[in-house]
Amino acid sequence: MRIFSRIEICRAGTGLLTALFLAACAAGGNTPPKPVEVARALPAEASRQASLDTPLGRALLAEINNRRPDAPFTLDPVLNKAAAVHSADMKARGFMGHHNPDGQGPLDRVLSVDEDFQGRVAENVGEFKFPPGESEAEKAAYMVEQWMNSPRHAAPLRSRAYQRTGIGIAVSGDRVYATQLFTGP
């Protein structure tokens, strides 16, 4: 029985991937890839379940604004709805990420709420588990701490380029699904 080291597996895998890539390139010719169709409407079930204003959402915004080095974020109703629906969707369909199973990303969701929206959008998402009895302020402090400890998540929280935000919270038992969207002036 031969035991493979991690390096040998990587080398074997790299060779196989290179061969597959070259075969795909040779077979593909000049045919452009087919466009991917992304749903334009927000998921219906999540839209019905979304809560636009929650005590934890308010606590989260307060905690973020307390730690923000610049002017506090203002709540944007378009971003708020898109964030709330995304959190409800993560809860309803059991996923966690920036894109839902239909392929919608942050900007797609914002455009589903307001097709005239223009600007950049950034997003933080998280799934958190809390023990019973923890206060909304304690949960918010923990969530923000987790985002601040990650350079990629902390960047939009600290950036002057983003001044408006939307926060969505969905709770399932001891789990909290959180979405925060950001945009500029």
Tokens at 158, concatenated: 């600290």
Cβ-based burial of 159 (10 A; exposed 0-12, middle 13-18, buried ≥19): middle
**Strand order across the 164-172 sheet:** 74-75, 164-172, 175-183, 122-129
Tokens at 11, concatenated: 């080398």
pLDDT of residue 164: 96
Tokens at 8, concatenated: 């040998």
For a pLDDT cut of 70, what percent of the chain falls above it? 72
Please name each of the domains of the chain with its CATH number. Answer: 45-184 (3.40.33.10)
Which is higher by pLDDT, 179 or 22? 179
Mean pLDDT of the chain: 81
Q: Round to whole Å and give the CA distance between 118 and 113.
A: 12
Q: What is the pLDDT of residues 63-120, one digit of tens each?
A: 999 999 889 999 999 999 999 999 999 999 999 999 999 999 999 999 999 999 999 9
Phi, psi of 176 (to 5 degrees): -125, 125
Contact 66, 184 (CB under 8 A): no
DSSP code for 104: -
pLDDT of residue 114: 94
* pLDDT band per the 50, 70, 90 thresholds, residue 21: very low
Closest C-alpha among 59, 50, 34 to residue 130: 59
* pLDDT band per the 50, 70, 90 thresholds, residue 41: confident
Least confident interval from 31-40, 62-71, 83-92, 137-146: 31-40
- What's the whole-model pTM score? 0.75
Tokens at 49, concatenated: 């379940």
pLDDT of residue 185: 82
